[in-house]
Structure 1
Amino acid sequence: MSSALNIWVRSPDTRSERRFERHVTVANLKAKLELITGVPAQNQRLWLHNSESEDAPIAELADDEKMLGFYATRDFQMIKVEDTNPSTSFTGQLTDVSQVEKFEMTDVEYAQRSDTVMAYKSRHKMGRFADKSTEEDGQTEAQTQKVDIPVGSRCQVESNEPGLSKRGTVRFVGPTKFAPAGVWVGIEYDEPMGKNDGTVQGEQYFTCKSNYGVFVRPDRVQVGDFPEEDLLEEM
């Protein structure tokens, strides 16, 4: 029997799959979970669930001296991290955008700018600024594009930031209502680096936690054996 377990970890702001040794103590486990969830070890209350889909816990990991294996923990069970004192941590602040000041611009102000997407499309005769025949040809080519990206496969998304690897799971492949033509790939990131929860403009294409979902063009997606990166190993 392997000494390492694959365990789902859930907290108010995170959801990820991790590997922990059976002989790790609850105290040491809390220290590791602090780096993953942002919840201070002293504020953590840990609950063991049979799976992600079961709300009722089967045990509380209440004894800091006990080892994880003491609770007969199995692969793909879930540890739910409860923050007993969220006022001293960042719990909930990563997903709460109610306090973020919004930048707003009128349509007239937007149309007068030369550094916008609309201005770029106008200069290059793209989208609604394109000649009708050119636009129709482009849509036909995009609609018939064949994409070999299976739903459910692991992937890595091209990033403009050096050293940043955005990994996740493909949840959707196909046309969308938020774009006039072409194939889009919906991805659930391993970490909250996305822009939505799988819903765009009121249309639900897949389901995930807020800020874990994103839609990108197929040419930015690389499918392969991309396991979830272990933050603890990198540190």
Structure 2
Amino acid sequence: MAFHAAAADIPLLITSPNSSSERRITPSWSIAHFKTRLEPITGIPASSQKLTLRVGTQDGTAIEADDEEKTQLSAFPLQAYAEINVLDTRPASARTDFSDLSSVPKYTLPSAQYESRNDSVLAWKKAQKLGRFDPNAPSLEEQKIRAMEREVEERGLTLHSRCRLLPATTDARRGSVAFVGPVPGIPGTAGPWIGVVLDEPTGKNDGSVKGTRYFSCAQNCGVFVRPERVEVGDFPPLGLEEDMEEL
């Protein structure tokens, strides 16, 4: 048999710092009883609750009495869908912030169990052969090489272009692009290197690496850098630029 609330019950909006909900209350409840009913809803202990009733745009009315065990809610101007705000009178340090999830223990499914499930995102990726499950997907090193090749194209790194090394704030060296391509003699990830003939002898070589020559320049005027460290532009030698400023 369905339960029907008594006709005298009144729907009210209950708000607090951490909750907001509609509740039906019985006007014959005492204030003390009402507060015990609010405790599990708001998370505020009954002894620390301060209740305020607001009807429409009217000023709030405090729901309080000298003897809250005997004073009924019917003593206050209750109306359907009026708002009762529950204030927490405890010091801020004693209150629980239910919106802060940093201290809430989180369950992590063990990797073996997750990988064995057939209803996970991982299982879907495996079925669709996406990402690392794509047999034709490039390896991480291949992706890095392709990214560097795109840098060469997007930066317009062509032979004989004037350039400067980056970051310009800490590396003021300038020169000309003399080589673009792989340099097997340099350890690390394969992919294109940019050989630069520097305007001043502040480099590391003469355009050769481990006996293989990639371009020619004076000793210590050559340097090999990755594409992302080179910016092409109208960069005259630093000394010449200063002379032009004096003209």
TM-score under structure 2 normalisation? Answer: 0.40
Larger relative contact order (C-alpha < 8 A, sep ≥ 6)?
A: 1
In our comparison, the structure showing a higher alpha carbon Rg is 2
